[in-house]
Structure 1
Amino acid sequence: MNNYLHADFLLDTETARRLYHDVAADLPIIDYHNHLPPEEVANNRAWDNLGDLWLSHDHYKWRVMRWAGVPESHITGNATDKEKFQAFAQILPKAIGNPMHHWSHLELWRYFGDEGKLINGDSAEEIWQTTQAMLSQPEFRAQGLLRKMKVELIGTTDDPLDSLEHHQAFAASPHKDGLTMVPTFRPDRALAIEGAGFSAYIEKLESLTGQSINTFEQLVSALQDRLEYFIANGCRAADHGIGQLEQADELSASQLDAILEKGRQGKALAPNEAESFRMAVLVELGRAYSRADLVMQLHIGPLRNNSTQIFRSAGSDSGADSIQDKPIAEPLNKLLDRMDSTNELPRTILYALDPSKNPIIVTTAGNFQSGGIAGKVQAGTAWWFNDQLDGMENQMNHLAQMGLLSTFTGMLTDSRSFLSFPRHEYFRRLLCRIVGRWVSEGLAPNDHKLLDEIIADIGYHNARRWFTG
C-alpha cells in the first residue's frame, strides 16, 4: 500500500487532524498575489494538453528539470508538449525531498483524480491520455480549475501601463459564479531609473496619461493617475519587487528632478542617486496607497537573471533567479518610518526571499503596528524558494514567537500556473501540524473554539478581510 501523501499527510497529532479535516480543509481560497494572465482568466482559456497547462509557465518545474539534466529543448525549447511532459515525468521521481514532488502529485490528484497514481516515466503515457480526455470538458478550462479549488479571489500582477481590459471584461461577465479577479498595481519599471528601458517607459506613461514628465512631482502625479484608474477597476493592493535595499538620502525636489533628467537621458547614475530616487517614489506611492486604503506589498531580495545563457534563450522569469543576501534591516525601517512618521503608512506586507531575514522582517513589522488595525504590517508568508515545509514552518515560528501569528494573512501562490492552488492545502496542513504539536507538547491550550478560530483566520478570514473589504 502506498502511504505517500495520504489523507493525514503532515497531520501527526489528534489535534492537527481535527483542525485540518474539520476546519481548514474546506475553506475557500483568497489568493491575493499571483501572476496568472488576466486574459486567460477572462477568456476562460482551454488547454490542448497537460504539458502545456502544467509546464509552459512554471519556472519551478523548469529549474528542477535543468538540475536533473533535461536539455533546454525539452524545457522551454522546441520539443513537443508531450515530449516535455515525458521528460518531466521521467525526472520527477528523482526530486524526492523537493516540494515539487509533493506539489506535482497534489496537483494531479486534486484536479484530475486518480489519487495514489505516482508520476514517473512509466506512468506518463497513461496520465497523458487520461488527462487529455478531461481537458476538453468545461470544468477544466481556466475558471473551472479555479472554482475546483474554491478560489474566491485572485490578485493578478499588473503594470501601470496595462489597459486592464481583461479585468473589465471579466468583471462584466455574467458567469463569474463567485470568482473575483482584481488587478494589483506593480510599478517596478517606473522606479528602475538606472535601467536601460527607463526613458522609453516614461515616454509611454506620458502618452497614456497625457502628462509631461520632466519633474519628480510630475512623475508621481502620472503614477497616481494610473493608480486611480486601477482603483476604479477593483484594485485592492500594490506590489513592489525590490532586489536590494540600500541606504537612501532624503533629497530635495530639485535634486530629484536632476536625477530624473539624468535617467531620462540615459546618463550613468551613482548608486545612491538611483536608490534615493527609488525610495522617494516609493514613499510617495505608499502615501497614496494609505489614502486609498490599499495594501502595499514589498517583495525583497531576489537576485535575478543570473544565467546569461538562460536569459538569452528563455528570457526573464525562467528559473535562473536566486537569493540576494545583502542587509535590509536599517534601510527597510527607515523606509517604513518615512511614511509612518506622518501617519501615512498603508497596511503593508513584507516578504524576504532570504530566510535568514525572517527575524528582521518580523521585528520590523512589530515596530509599526498602529492605528487600531490588527497586524497592520505583516511578516508575509514564506516566499518563492521558501514555500516548502522547512521554510514555511520557520517563517510561522518566527512570527509566532516574535510577533502575533493569529493576525497572519496566510498563504498565496505567487504562481503563473493554474494548477498551483493545492499549495494552499500544503500550507494549511503544515499550519495544523504546527498548532497540533504545540497542543500535544503543552505549549498551547486544547481550546477548540480558540484554535478553530485561529486556523480559520490564518487560512482564509484574515486575507478575506484585508482584500475583499
Structure 2
Amino acid sequence: MKNFMDEKFLLNSKTAEHLYNNYAKDMPIIDYHCHLSPKEIYENKSYKTITDIWLDGDHYKWRLMRANGIEEKYITGDASSYEKFLAWAKTVPKSIGNPVYTWTHLELQRYFNIYVALNEDTADEVWESVNHQLNKNDFGVRDLIKTSNVKVICTTDDPADTLEYHQQLKESDFETTVLPSYRPDKGLELNREGFTDWVEKLEQSADISIQNYEDFLAALDARAQFFHEVGGRVSDHALDEILYEEATLEEVSQIFAKAKNGSKVSRSEEAKYKTYTLNFLGKIYAKLGWVMQYHISALRNNNSKMFDRLGPDTGFDSMNDGQIAEPLTKLLNSLEKEDALPKTVLYSLNPKDNPVLASITGSFQGEGIPGKIQFGTAWWFNDTKEGMLSQMKTLADMGLLSQFIGMLTDSRSFLSYTRHEYFRRILCDLLASWVENGEVPNDDELLGPIIQDISYRNAEQYLGFQKKTQNLTVS
C-alpha cells in the first residue's frame, strides 16, 4: 500500500517513476490558455488568507460545496473568510475521487509544504500555517509563477482591451513571458445582451467608426494587429454551439445592421453571421501565423435564478450534447480550401466528441507543420484522471500522441500549476503501462524525448515562442 499522495502517487510501476522523475518532473511550463489577470501579475498581487487565494472565484470548489449542502452564504455570500475556509475543509473529505481533492492536497504540498489531509480537524492548523506564509514578502503571484517554473502565460483577453498591463509586463524585469490571447466572443454573439455596447467599445479601442459590417471587420482586424504587436500569438473562441451556413457579404451586412440596431436575429441569420465572421477571423490568424483555439460544447448559465443573483462563471454550467462533426468540418474546410486554415486546437467539453475531434484533426493535417491541427487536452469537466487518459488514448488511437501540445490550466487561480504535475504523472504512467505490457520498448531514447515534448517542447515550438531546447534530463 502506498502512502497518501507521496512521491509515487499516480505512478504505478518503477518504470512510471523513472519516466516521471527523469523526464517530466522538472520540465518548464507553458500555460497557453488561462484566465489569470495580467493586472494582478503586473502588480504582484498578494493575499492575506487562504480563502482569498483558494476559494474566491473558484467555481470548481463552489460546485462541490453546493453538492455537500453548504449554504451559499459560506460560498459566495457574506460569511467571513475563516467561515468559508472551514466550509471548504468540511467538504474536502467528501470529495474523494474528484480531481479537486487531489489538486487541493497538491497545492498544499507544493506551495505551503503542508502534507496533512485537509478536513475539519486539521482546518485550523492549515489556516494558520498558510496564512502565515502568505503574509511573507516573497509570496506574491509572481513568486508563485516563478516557483512553478512557468515560462509563458497566455491570458484570455477581449479585442477591446487596452492590454496596458501586458505592455507594462513586457517592459518589466519579470522573467515569465505574459502574452494576450484574442477572444472575440462578444462580437460573435450578436443575440446576446450587450452586443451593441460591445461594438461601441470596439469602435473606441480600434479608433474606427463602425457604421457597417465592413467597418466592424476592419476594427477586428486592427485589434488583432495590435495584439500581435504586443506579443499575442493565440486566439480563442467559445463555440458553445457550432453553426455553419454560407452567405454573401451583402446578406451578412444586413444581419449585422439588424443586430446593431438592437433587434434579435433568427437562427439562420445567426449561423450566416458566425460562419462569415469566423472565416474572416481565421484568415487573419493564418496571415499572422497564430494558433486558433475552438472550445466547443459548453452549456452555460443553466440555473437562471443563480445567474441573476451571481452572474456568469459561478459554477452553473455543464456539458452540451449538440452535433458538431458536420458544421465543424465545413468551417475548417472553408478556410482550408482558401489555403487559410491556421494551426488549430479543438477542445470539446463533452467526451462523447473525443473520437469525432480526433478523427477530424486527421482530415486537415499537413503543410509541413507537425500536429498542425490539435486534438486539445481534456478540458474543464474532463481534466480528471479518467478524462485525461481518455483524451490521450483516443489521440494515440487515431493520430500522433507524440505531437500533442499537452496540458493547460484554464484557470483563474495562481495555484493551479500543480495540474501540470497531475497531467505529467498520468502521462508517464500511461506510457509506462505500455512498456510493462510489452506494447512499447523500454527505451529511454524513445520515451524520454516524447515525454519532454508533450510536457513542454511541443507547445514551445507549435506556438512559436522559442527555438527547441535540448533534452533536459535529471540524473
Task: State whether TM-score is above 0.5.
Answer: yes
In the other structure, the counterpart of 2:94 is 94
User: Secondary structure in 2 aligned to 1:239?
Assistant: strand
Aligned 8 A contact 1:196 1:266 in 2: no
**Which residues of 2 match residues 30-429 of structure 1 at below 5 A?**
30-115=30-115, 117-174=116-173, 176=174, 178-246=175-243, 248-429=244-425
User: Could you tell me how far apart the structure 1 residues matched to 2:447 and 2:11 are?
Assistant: 15
CA contact 1:28–1:152 (8 Å) conserved in 2: yes
After superposition, give the CA deviation of every residue in 1:380-434 in whole Å (9 maximum; x if it has no partner).
0000000001100000000001011000000000000111110000000000010
SS in 1 for 2:119: coil
After TM superposition, give the deviation of residue 139 of structure 1 in Å.
Answer: 3.0
Q: CA separation in 2, counterparts of 1:2 and 1:110?
A: 19
**TM-score, L = length of structure 2:** 0.96
Task: Report deviation, 1:28.
Answer: 0.7
Distance 1:181 1:299 in 2: 21
Is the CA contact 1:299–1:351 (under 8 Å) kept in the aligned structure 2?
Answer: yes
**SS of aligned partner of 1:139:** coil
- Once the two structures are TM-superposed, the CA of residue 46 in structure 1 deviates from its matched residue by 0.5
Q: Quick one: distance in 2 between partners of 1:167 and 1:210?
A: 20
- Matches of 2:124 and 2:2, distance apart in 1: 21
Q: What is the distance in 1 between the residues matched to 2:70 and 2:33? A: 30
Q: Which amino acid aligns with 2:156?
A: T
Shift of the 69–2 alpha-carbon distance from structure 1 to 2, 3 Å rule, reads farther
What CA distance in whole angstroms lies between the structure 2 residues aligned with 1:402 and 1:87? 44
In the alignment, the residues of structure 1 paired with residue 245 and residue 293 of structure 2 have an alpha-carbon distance, to the nearest angstrom, of 22
What's the offset of the Cα at 1:447?
A: 1.6
Tell me the amino acid that sits aligned with residue 227 of structure 1.
A
Instruction: For residue 5 of structure 2, give the secondary structure of its aligned residue in structure 1.
Output: coil
Calculate the aligned-residue CA RMSD, in Å: 1.1
Inter-partner Cα distance in structure 1 for 2:349 and 2:247: 29
Farther off after superposition, 193-202 or 295-304: 193-202
Range that drifts further, 181-190 or 164-173: 164-173
Equivalent-residue separation in structure 1 for 2:360 and 2:138 (angstroms): 44
Q: Alignment partner of 2:362: what SS?
A: helix
In the alignment, the residues of structure 1 paired with residue 374 and residue 245 of structure 2 have an alpha-carbon distance, to the nearest angstrom, of 26
Contact 2:242 2:328 survives alignment (8 Å):
yes
Contact in 2 for aligned 1:370/1:376 (Cα 8 Å): yes
SS, match of residue 240 in structure 1: strand
Q: 1:106 corresponds to which letter in structure 2? A: L
Q: Structure 1 counterpart of 2:219, which letter?
A: A
Residue equivalent to 2:462: 466
Report the Cα offset of residue 2 of structure 1: 7.6
Q: CA deviation at 1:367?
A: 0.5
In the TM superposition, what is the alpha-carbon distance from 1:215 to its structure 2 partner? Answer: 2.9
Contact 1:214 1:257 in 2 (8 A): no
State the Cα distance separating 1:17 from its structure 2 match: 1.0
Please state whether the residue corresponding to 1:367 is helix, strand or coil.
Answer: coil
Whether the 8 Å CA contact 1:16–1:435 is kept in 2: the answer is yes
Q: Write out aligned runs for 1:427-438 (5 A).
A: 427-438=423-434
Question: What is the total number of aligned residue pairs between the two structures?
Answer: 465
Q: CA deviation at 1:6?
A: 1.5
Q: Deviations over 1:157-191 (max 9, x none)?
A: 000111111111111112x1x31100000000001
2:213–2:257 Cα contact (<8 Å) kept: no
Give the partner amino acid of 1:408: F
Report whether the alignment pairs 1:445 with 2:444.
Answer: no
1:335-370 CA distances to partner (integer Å, 9 max, x unpaired)? Answer: 000111111110100000000000011111111001
* Distance in 2, Cα, partners of 1:193 & 1:269: 8
Residue 216 of structure 1: CA displacement? Answer: 2.5
Indicate the larger mover: 203-212 or 273-282: 203-212
Asked if structure 1 preserves the Cα contact closer than 8 Å seen for 2:357 and 2:375, the reply is yes
| Aligned counterparts of 1:417 and 1:313: Cα–Cα separation in 2 | 23
Structure 1 runs of 4+ with >4 Å offset: none
Identity %: 45
Question: Does structure 2 retain, via aligned residues, the 8 Å contact 1:168–1:233?
Answer: yes
Letter in 2 for 1:321: D
Amino acid across the alignment from 2:201: K
Give the Å deviation of 1:211: 1.8
Q: Which amino acid aligns with 2:16?
A: A
Q: TM-score, normalised by structure 1?
A: 0.97
Per-residue CA deviation, residues 261-293 of structure 1 (Å, 9 max, x unaligned), is 111112221101102201211111111000100
18-27 or 7-16: bigger deviation: 7-16
Tell me which amino acid in the other structure corresponds to 1:72: E
Find the aligned partners of 1:271 and 1:56 in 2 and give their Cα distance: 37
SS at match of 2:247: coil
Kindly provide the CA deviation profile for residues 93-137 of structure 1, in whole angstroms up to 9, marking residues without a partner as x.
00011111001000111000022x110011111111111111122
| 1:250 Cα deviation after fit | 1.4
Query: How many Å apart are 1:313 and its aligned residue?
Result: 2.1
Question: Is the contact made by 2:208 and 2:215 (CA closer than 8 Å) also made in structure 1?
Answer: yes
* Aligned partners of 1:396 and 1:405 also within 8 Å: yes
SS, match of residue 237 in structure 2: strand
**Mapped contact 1:70–1:87 kept (Cα < 8 A):** yes
For residues 77-99 of structure 1, give each alpha carbon's deviation from its aligned partner in whole angstroms, at most 9, with x where no partner exists: 11111111110001110001111
In structure 2, list runs of 5 or more residues that go unmatched. 467-475
Aligned residue type for 1:244 = E
